[in-house]
């Protein structure tokens, strides 16, 4: 019993006596009826207080038992999650990954897939908004096509590619024209892919989150395909823990413990799954618990494509909030 509860009980014990003696001032009475009245008063008041004391004791004990039960479930769940990670082993392209290195590889694969998506998105941007693309990206594309020879006539080449794309507003015609410079889909040279990837990176966070969801979905699908049962079981475990923490009486304590245990790689994985998830309930829980806000940290943002600013990630988190509101 803490000091606040003890002080409250002492206060409740003394108040009825103080109120009685303040109202009926004087010394001790020698009239038996006065003592009977005092006994009735004391019995009624302290009987009621006794009832509330017993009720409070029952409530306190039940709450304490609930905390103990929830402690067992929570810490056992965290133990199982950590055990799943530390005892897992997967093979990708004949290479073995164990324990925490699986999470690191998963984040790496997310970035690799998004890089591929940026190459494809760059081709679309060249056909959709050629007038909005900076000259530096056209120059990189022309350099990838012509090599060092390009610099002797770069102004002519730059003017040519821009005028060819802008004189015809039809998307399909632009798509065919751009093939001359960058090649067909998936047949670009290494240098050309790097130029297109740079363009896709720059535009990535300029696009609304809704327009990027398909790109994120491709990355998450890659994880599901390559990491199979591990990622499925891991996400289910983490969702269970998030829901449990959200509804527990020790919510704040459990959340601090979760945040102390979850690695930056797990935060990034959760972030991408939240973006692509159709389960609005779990997205809201992850946001209410502050787990997704962890992605704002510098060490987490450094694992995302093109190292976004805090403002760019805050915009994505705001978009997620609007989806679940």
- Where residue 306 falls (left for φ over 0; alpha for ψ -120 to 50; beta otherwise) is left
Question: Got the DSSP string for 285-316?
Answer: HHHHTTTGGGGGSHHHHTTSTT---HHHHHHH
> Is the pLDDT at 30 greater than 60, yes or no?
no
Reported as a single tens digit per residue, the pLDDT across 190-213 is 999 999 999 999 999 999 998 899
pLDDT-based confidence at residue 20 (cuts at 50, 70, 90): low
Burial class (CB within 10 angstroms; exposed 0-12, middle 13-18, buried 19+) of 295: buried
Give the pLDDT of residue 113.
95
191 versus 56: the higher-pLDDT residue is 191
Provide the pLDDT confidence category of residue 55 given band limits of 50, 70 and 90: low
Residue ranges of the domains in the chain? Answer: 3-69, 109-204, 209-324
Average pLDDT over every residue of 137-162: 82
Q: Which of 59-68, 95-104, 280-289 has the lowest mean pLDDT?
A: 59-68
Q: What pLDDT is recorded for position 133?
A: 93
Q: Does the pLDDT at position 152 exceed 80?
A: no
63: nearest Cα among 73, 55, 74, 51: 55
pLDDT at 32 over 90: no
pLDDT digits (tens, 9 = 90+) for 130-142: 999 999 999 999 8
Residues 6+ positions from 241 with CB-CB distance below 8 Å: 74, 77, 78, 81, 258
Radius of gyration, CA atoms only, the chain: 33
Cα distances from 166 to residues 143, 197, 210, 287, in angstroms, run 20, 22, 27, 43
pLDDT of residue 193: 94
Of 39-48, 80-89, 232-241, 292-301, which gets the smallest average pLDDT?
Answer: 39-48
284: pLDDT strictly greater than 70: yes
Per-residue pLDDT at 25 exceeds 90: no
pLDDT the model gives residue 231: 87
């Amino acid at each position: 019993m803490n000091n606040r509860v003890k002080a409250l009980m002492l206060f409740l014990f003394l108040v009825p006596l103080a109120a009685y003696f303040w109202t009926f001032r004087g010394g001790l009475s020698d009239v038996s009826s006065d003592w009977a009245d005092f006994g009735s008063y004391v019995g009624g008041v302290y009987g009621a207080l006794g009832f509330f004391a017993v009720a409070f004791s029952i409530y306190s004990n039940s709450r304490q038992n609930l905390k103990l039960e929830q402690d067992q479930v929570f810490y056992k769940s965290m133990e199982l999650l950590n055990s799943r990670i530390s005892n897992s082993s997967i093979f990708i392209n004949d290479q073995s990954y164990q324990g925490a290195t699986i999470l690191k590889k998963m984040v790496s694969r997310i970035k690799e897939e998004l890089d591929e998506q940026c190459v494809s998105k760059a081709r679309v941007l060249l056909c959709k908004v050629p007038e909005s693309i900076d000259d530096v990206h056209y120059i990189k594309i022309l350099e990838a096509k012509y090599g060092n020879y390009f610099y002797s006539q770069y102004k002519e080449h730059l003017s040519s590619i821009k005028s060819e794309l802008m004189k015809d507003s039809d998307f399909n015609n632009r798509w065919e024209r751009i093939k001359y410079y960058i090649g067909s889909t998936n047949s670009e040279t290494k240098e050309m892919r790097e130029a297109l990837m740079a363009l896709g990176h720059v535009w990535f966070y300029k696009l609304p989150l809704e327009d990027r969801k398909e790109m994120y979905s491709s990355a998450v699908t890659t994880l599901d395909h390559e990491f199979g049962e591990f990622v499925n079981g891991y996400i289910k475990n983490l969702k269970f823990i998030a829901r449990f923490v959200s509804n527990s009486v020790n919510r704040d304590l459990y959340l601090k413990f979760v945040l102390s245990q979850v690695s930056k790689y797990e935060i990034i994985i959760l972030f991408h799954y939240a973006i692509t998830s159709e389960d609005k309930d779990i997205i809201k829980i992850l946001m209410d618990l502050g787990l997704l806000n962890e992605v704002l940290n510098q060490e987490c943002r450094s694992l995302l494509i093109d190292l976004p600013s805090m403002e760019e990630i805050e915009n994505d988190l705001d978009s997620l909030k609007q989806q679940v509101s």
